[in-house]
Structure 1
Amino acid sequence: MSLNTVTAPAAVEITLDEAKSLLARAVEERGAGYTYQMLTIDEQSLCAYFDPKTKAPSCIVGQVLAYKGVTYDDLAGQEVNTYANIEALNDQGVVKVDNDTQALLEIAQSEQDAGMPWGRAVEEALATYEGRAQAYEEDGYDDPSLAYWF
């Protein structure tokens, strides 16, 4: 008698260059002035990667995930579907991102969640990330990916 095994899908890798490109694509498709509206889930206002009613990508990072082939069903039943950050998705093996990519996506997410239109959120995320990386490099650190953590 053989045992049935379930193999988890491979983590979706997102590089820094891909993240930049996919964030720009999301802005282009929704419009620079698009402002994300939090979803009400279980009587709480939350940013959700995917809308649980429509299963469509919802927030800006949800758009990036969808462009890379991640679906609502890939996250369904997991807390990461509604409110975790990209670090949690990385830790759970849903995505594979380095510190640079994680920083950029989390900054964009944070700006969006603060009510900033997507075009400006991405501009701010890029400027913030690049500024931190440059400052860290100027301080003599060899690894600019640590720029997010200072």
Structure 2
Amino acid sequence: MSFKVPVGPAQIVIHGGQTILMSKLTGQIDYPSDKGLYFRDTRLLSAWAVYANGEPWDLLNGGAVSYDVARIFLINRAFATEDGAVPAQTLGLVLGRVIDGGMHEDLDITNYGLKPVRFNLEIALRCDFADIFEVEADHIVRRGHIGAR
């Protein structure tokens, strides 16, 4: 008699107390999705991405190293700067995440090239404060009003 062992989606999940963080293996949180930073029944962070001069990073390896800690190793794609091109795999980025009364994140960049590199490190965040039932139903209702003068 054989049986199937279901395997869930490729993701990283860490938690501490009533706080849970779910992300892709790259550490990114795409919107829309069910991933994000949750506290109790509310999603606080609904999107997270990091770029080097507009280019996303490629995954080397990573995952949860304990129930409340994740470490993700990324490498750059080739991109252009004011000082010239930066070849792929010149820069390494390590994301260290800890859930302990909130989310703490360290971003450590290492230059493996022979020359100094200047570039824009871009971190994009999005918060929707959606209820967990809205997320599960894939029906997020945007609330509030944004005004500018």
Same fold (TM over 0.5): no
- More strand, by proportion: 2
Structure (1 or 2) with the larger CA radius of gyration: 2
- More helix, by proportion: 1
> Could you tell me the TM-score, scaled by structure 2's length?
0.25
Of structures 1 and 2, the one with the larger relative CO (CA 8 A, separation 6+) is 1
> Could you tell me the TM-score, scaled by structure 1's length?
0.25
